[in-house]
Amino acid sequence: MDHYSHYNSFTEALVGFSQFARKAGFSAGLQCSQDATLAALRGLWLDRDLFEYALAALYCNAEEEREPFRQLYARFWRKKGTRIQDKRDYKNQKKIVKAPRSVAVMVGQGKSDSNEQSEESKNTSGANAKETVKKTDFTQLSNSQTALLDEISEKLIREMSLRLKRKKKKSKKGSIDIGQSIRQNLQNGGTIIDLKRIKAKREKYRLLVLLDVSGSMDKYSFYLLKFLWSLRHHFKQIEAFAFSTKLMRITDYISDRDLAVSLMMVSQYVTHWSSGTKIGDCLKEFNDDYAKRHLNGNTITLILSDGLDTGEPEVLDSAIQKIKLRSKKLVWLNPLKGMRGYEPIQEGMKTALPTLDHFGAAHNFASLLELENILQDA
């Protein structure tokens, strides 16, 4: 999507523009989206030129970025029907001659018996595109790939939720009660026809997610937040927190059925987005203020962070040990782990690693879907 009219609401369009600007290399985090919304609400949107100046002040860090941003703004917020075409569109472009109908049929553009093969090719191409998007690093996604990922991500998480529910349902049967089975089948001459099972006690696990939104996570936190939003709507027992230099509960902010509204809520209230990193201090704050309420022994705790802590290792070690004691399973997913040759040599990661039950990657959607294996073993 590269035009504001493609979105369902002005709020969604602002989020889309921030994403569009980020792909073009501009500094466009959630804080920019928040400030852009405030500028619009103050009436600047009514004057397109004034709105452009306001956004340029937010997204541009140097004078040489102004002209590229002006073109980007014109492309996204232009009036419909005034398409701005990049010079590259004209390069080596030859005059298009309409081919005869017979030629069109031969190349698969007309009506013929080969239509089924053409349709099959499209389906295969679409499947390949989805697989590619799932395995592409979040920082390398193009605009079209981002739109495709948004389209398929909620569906995949919903399917994951359904599979986990089926597995949980099957596991509820419990083990066979031999004595009760024999007594129940005495009327059959001792032949055991119906097996009685010990009713299994169903344990409901919770999922606690702690998302690092510090400056070093900027390239990933936007996508991880969208992943959290999808999880929240298919796994009801979820609590979510965002942290950098301080901690904030964001469960209620990501509960709206509209993704754009949730993103704006987070950008408005999580004021420490893109700041420094104090992982140990934030985990200690969680233990002091929230652990008793949200950790109950059946909780799977998931930390999404690159581990670049600037605090004292002793604070992190003590805090994560306490979380481990109260959790059924402690999982840490690190976007950097998806990089070739990565080694967890950062002080924060080295400190936390011995305590973890699982250490995995979080650089693309496929790595996040591995969460299913973690949950089914819980």
Q: Provide the residue ranges of all domains of the chain, joining segments of one domain with +.
A: 4-79, 145-188, 206-376
Task: Give the model's pLDDT for residue 267.
Answer: 77
Q: Tell me whether strands 247-249 and 238-243 are parallel, antiparallel or unpaired.
A: antiparallel
pLDDT digits (tens, 9 = 90+) for 105-114: 222 334 444 4
Mean pLDDT of 134-151: 87
Reading the block at residue 315, the tokens are 């604070």
> Which one is predicted more confidently, 218 or 335?
335
Reading the block at residue 193, the tokens are 């026809």
Four-residue CA torsion sign, 95, 101, 102, 107: positive
Contacts (Cβ under 8 Å, ≥6 apart) of 263: 15, 30, 33, 225, 226, 229
DSSP annotation of 377: T
Q: Among residues 68, 35, 67, 31, which one has the least CA distance to residue 51?
A: 35
Task: Give the model's pLDDT for residue 368.
Answer: 93
Window from 20-24, 52-56, 209-213 with minimum mean pLDDT: 52-56
Mean pLDDT of 41-50: 61
Question: Has residue 200 got a pLDDT over 70?
Answer: no
Mean pLDDT of 152-177: 73
206-376: CATH architecture: 3-Layer(aba) Sandwich (3.40)
> Which one is predicted more confidently, 8 or 256?
256
Task: Give the model's pLDDT for residue 322.
Answer: 97
Q: Where are the beta strands (DSSP E) in 199-351?
A: 206-212, 238-243, 247-249, 299-304, 329-334
Mean pLDDT of 73-77: 83
% of the chain with per-residue pLDDT over 70: 70
Question: Has residue 363 got a pLDDT over 80?
Answer: yes
% of the chain with per-residue pLDDT over 90: 32
Q: What are phi and psi of 358, to 5 degrees?
A: -150, 135
Window from 56-60, 187-191, 273-277 with minimum mean pLDDT: 187-191
pLDDT band of residue 350 (cuts 50, 70, 90) is very high
Question: Has residue 54 got a pLDDT over 90?
Answer: no
Task: Give the model's pLDDT for residue 224.
Answer: 93
Q: How far apart are CA 308 and CA 118, in angstroms?
A: 50
Task: Give the model's pLDDT for residue 206.
Answer: 87
Reading the block at residue 340, the tokens are 């070739």
Task: Give the model's pLDDT for residue 365.
Answer: 93
Question: Has residue 211 got a pLDDT over 70?
Answer: yes
Q: What are phi and psi of 153, to 5 degrees?
A: -60, -45
Question: Has residue 61 got a pLDDT over 60?
Answer: yes
pLDDT band of residue 187 (cuts 50, 70, 90) is low
Question: Has residue 333 got a pLDDT over 90?
Answer: yes
pLDDT digits (tens, 9 = 90+) for 1-26: 477 777 777 777 777 888 888 888 88
Average pLDDT across the chain, whole number = 78
pLDDT digits (tens, 9 = 90+) for 286-303: 999 999 999 988 899 999
pLDDT band of residue 92 (cuts 50, 70, 90) is very low
pLDDT band of residue 190 (cuts 50, 70, 90) is low
pLDDT band of residue 67 (cuts 50, 70, 90) is confident
